[in-house]
Chains A and B, each alone.
Chain A
Amino acid sequence: MKKIINDPKRVVDESVAGFGLAHADLVRVETDPIHVVRGDAPVAGKVGLVSGGGSGHEPLHAGFVGPGMLDAAVPGAVFTSPTPDPILAATKAVDGGKGVLHIVKNYTGDVLNFETAADLAAADGIEVRAVVTNDDVAVKDSLYTAGRRGVGGTVLVEKIAGAAAERGDSLEQVAEVAERVNANVRSMGMALTPCTVPHAGEPSFTLAEDEVEIGIGIHGEPGRERIKLEPADAIVDRLLEPIVEDLPFSSGDRVLLFVNGMGGTPQIELYIAYRRAAESLAEQGIRVERSLVGNYITSLEMQGFSITLLKLDDDMLELWDAPVHTAALRWGR
């Protein structure tokens, strides 16, 4: 293992401390228990948005804290969901009197810990709703699994629900738009290499030089299928086909196309993938109205990428375009 760290046990604490120093204009970092909140939280009369999960997916989630997106992020240990205490602390810190929405990726640990925190917050008189994102089409039959994972679609849910909260929507309305985005978004990813969790010290799985994993999640967990490396266009087609079939997306649909890097893939390759995805969607009559390309929900230094497609309506489009000012997403102000 070769990493720029001091002590494997201090990785999250030191990284979050650095994030706080670098973005002191946007956030404040609380250390006991650890959570990151918007600098001006709580914002009176605004629904608070809290997300979180294991660390190692940066910029998700702390990178999306700020006006127009999240009010707080709760980083757990690397690839491990946070415990209820910091989730509860973050929930209290952002409660502006209109309730709090938890945005939770569908992983067993995240769901259990957020549920516990929501129960505790309710006992303190804070109204909490939760939306569990589950956009990963690689997981097919939820009867025999823990259900579809929340992956790239989570970023879009956070942006759009964040804009709804910022414009003054009620908790019910913000939860509704978050659910609507989740219901209309699908993703699938692939990996060229595994990643190494600092405290584990060894790669999460092994791949031969000419092998790739199709259908990975965001924790270095292996995917469902291992194949020989193919040209970029073939890989994009392999990811895009099940996404388009799943919703299904069809001719005339307006979409947001999001090509996400897993952390170790350069932009030059992400744009090659974007090119083919956009071309394929155009051939199918699906209109790409908005796009996002870059490393937004990552898996440490894993090489690979995911494709996320969101079917847009007018409201979602307006909320996507609304101003956002966070460390990792910023436009319109």
Chain B
Amino acid sequence: MGLDITWAVDWVRRGAETLAEHRVELITLDREIGDGDHGENMDRGFQAVLPKLDDLPAGSAPSDVLKLVATTLISTVGGAAGPLYGTAFLKGSMAVAGESSLDAAGVAAMLEAARDGIVSRGKAESGDKTMVDAWTPAVDAARSAADGGASAAETLRAAADAAATGAAATEPLVARKGRASYLGERSAGHRDPGAQSTVYLLEAAAVAAANGTSA
């Protein structure tokens, strides 16, 4: 069973809801090692997407939803998160362009393209204590789930769980990219806020898929 436009819209709504719910937590994580705006920025960006979902033309594909998220985040979020998440959704959209329903391989391809977009824009590698440390394990888990015959929903669940493990693993790391890098050793002991917001977004995608809102 594939994931269609209903899933994509539900993902964005759940994503907006969970980011609003965790706004203060993300601000706090960011204040510890950055400048304290990550929760505010992500909440502002996803709230801006919501009204636009109602204007999607009939017959839109999941890729259209992802593209809408991309352009809205780029034009409303700012900071590093706007271009990085904007690029992720844009590349993810391009990877599944026009497909009315995503199977497990489609989900894996979408996540991989999103991650590659973040890496090329932000020039961060695994271990730099950034959102890449959540995205890369998520992509790896999605790929092996899809290759092993999992459903699209199961593939997203594997990705979300791996992202959570990856985000937790950023805690002991010393940041080498972004504003946290200025702290040097003092950045260790804190979870990266971008990795944590990645967890919330992928978790929302997985829950939306599991809730059978797909066709």
Contact = CB atoms under 8 A, between A and B. Distances in A.
Interface string B118-131: 00011000000000
Nearest to B181: A145
Interface residues of A, number: 36
A144 B176 contact: yes
B80 interface: yes
A116 B37 contact: no
A146 B79 contact: no
A199 B34 contact: no
A25 interface: no
A82 B79 CA distance: 7
A103 B68 CA distance: 30
A83 B74 contact: yes
A221 B40 contact: no
Interface string A77-120: 11111111100000000000000000000011100110010000
A33 B109 CA distance: 35
Contact of B78 (A82, A145, A146): A82
B151 interface: no
A217 interface: yes
Contacts of A112: 80, 82-84, 121-122
Given A116-B83, A200-B40, A80 B78 contact: yes
A108 B75 contact: no
A266 B37 CA distance: 28
A146 B181 contact: yes
A150 interface: no
A116 B74 contact: yes
A170 to B, nearest CB: 30
B36 A83 contact: no
B95 interface: no
A204 B31 contact: yes
A113 B178 contact: no
Nearest to A147: B181
A217 B37 contact: no
A109 B78 contact: yes
Interface in A190-213: 197, 199-200, 202, 204-205
A78 B36 CA distance: 10
B76 interface: yes
B178 A108 contact: yes
B192 to A, nearest CB: 13
A186 interface: no
B177 A108 contact: yes
B183 interface: yes
10 contacts: A81-B78, A84-B74, A108-B80, A108-B177, A109-B83, A112-B80, A112-B82, A197-B37, A200-B31, A219-B179
Interface of A: 54, 76-85, 107-109, 112-113, 116, 138-139, 144-146, 149, 197, 199-200, 202, 204-205, 217, 219-224
For the complex of A and B, 4 pairs with smallest distance between CB atoms:
A145-B181, A109-B79, A112-B83, A109-B80
Interface of B: 27, 31, 34-37, 40-41, 44, 74-84, 121-122, 174, 176-179, 181-184, 186
Given A138-B182, A146-B177, A222-B183, 11 more contacts: A54-B78, A80-B37, A80-B40, A84-B75, A84-B83, A85-B75, A107-B179, A109-B83, A144-B184, A200-B36, A221-B35
